[in-house]
Amino acid sequence: MPEGAAINEMFSGIAGRYDCANHLLSFGQDYGWRRVLTKMVKQRAPQDVVDLATGSGDVAFALRQRLGPSVNLTGMDFCQPMLDEAIRKQAQRQPVTNIRFAQGDCMALPLEDASADAITISFGVRNFEDRQRGFSEMLRVLRPGGAVYILEFSQPYSWFRPFYYLYLKAILPLIAGIATGKKDAYQYLAGSIESFPARPELSAQLKEAGFAEVKATALTFGIVAIHEAVKAR
């Protein structure tokens, strides 16, 4: 698994153009993925929500819009330049002021036990230095009956796989290099996606970490998935 310091440095280098690259490289699909994610979170009717690996804040802003102003919402990331982007965007999106952005490492979250009803993390689990440790931290922070929602790249359906990996390995780094000036970061992305567990394996890892129920929802031919993992009551 990747080292935290290297991941921090990589994201610091692309923070200013991260949003543009995401929209471009996903052909705008990231908007739809966030809509599905926030709908799933709303069904749980949470009062305290934490968005981990919040990056430039897009998921946090989408959650605020979906859940309304009465829900307590915190966005956390261990990369300060990415958090700076989120805070800058927040200042431009008045009156979206009631989101607290704070620095926090998923390996040792600065949050109390049983303090959140829902945790979201989008495209962050793949970069964990220790996946089981990160899952254990999320389980600790959740209240009984709460759930974590993991939006992450997954393994596409078999018929789509050749086309997807051609794009991922040959085309995406070229486009990303033009968009961000950091081609190497997106070459890492392709490798990390290819080696990431498929939905059944990741579901098994979440259960091994102590989650009582796990459900995986595949999106866009399986290239991404949302894992909903519930803490036992």
What is the CATH classification number for the domain harbouring 221? 3.40.50.150
| Number of Cβ within a 10 Å radius of residue 59 | 28
Domain of residue 200, residue span: 27-158+195-230
- Nearest-angstrom CA–CA distance, 105 and 217: 26
Whether residue 207 is contained in a domain is answered as yes
Query: Quick one: pLDDT at residue 170?
Result: 82
Whether residue 179 is contained in a domain is answered as no
CB hemisphere CA count around 72 (13 angstroms):
5
Residue 94: both structure tokens together: 């008045």
Contacts of 217 (CB under 8 A, 6+ apart): 36, 40, 225, 226, 227, 228
Strand ordering across the sheet containing 224-230: 100-103, 72-77, 48-52, 116-122, 142-153, 224-230, 213-219
Count structural domains, the chain: 1
> Residues 124, 53: contact at Cβ < 8 Å?
yes
Among 128-132, 177-181, 184-188, which range has the highest average pLDDT?
A: 128-132
Listed range (15-24, 100-109, 146-155) with the worst mean pLDDT: 15-24
Mean pLDDT, to the nearest integer, of 198-211? 98
Peptide linkage before 95 cis (omega within 30 of 0): yes
Whether residue 168 is contained in a domain is answered as no
Mean pLDDT of the chain: 87
Query: Quick one: pLDDT at residue 184?
Result: 62
**Integer Rg of the chain from CA:** 17
- Under the banding of pLDDT at 50, 70 and 90, the label for residue 15 is very low
> Residues 62, 19: contact at Cβ < 8 Å?
no
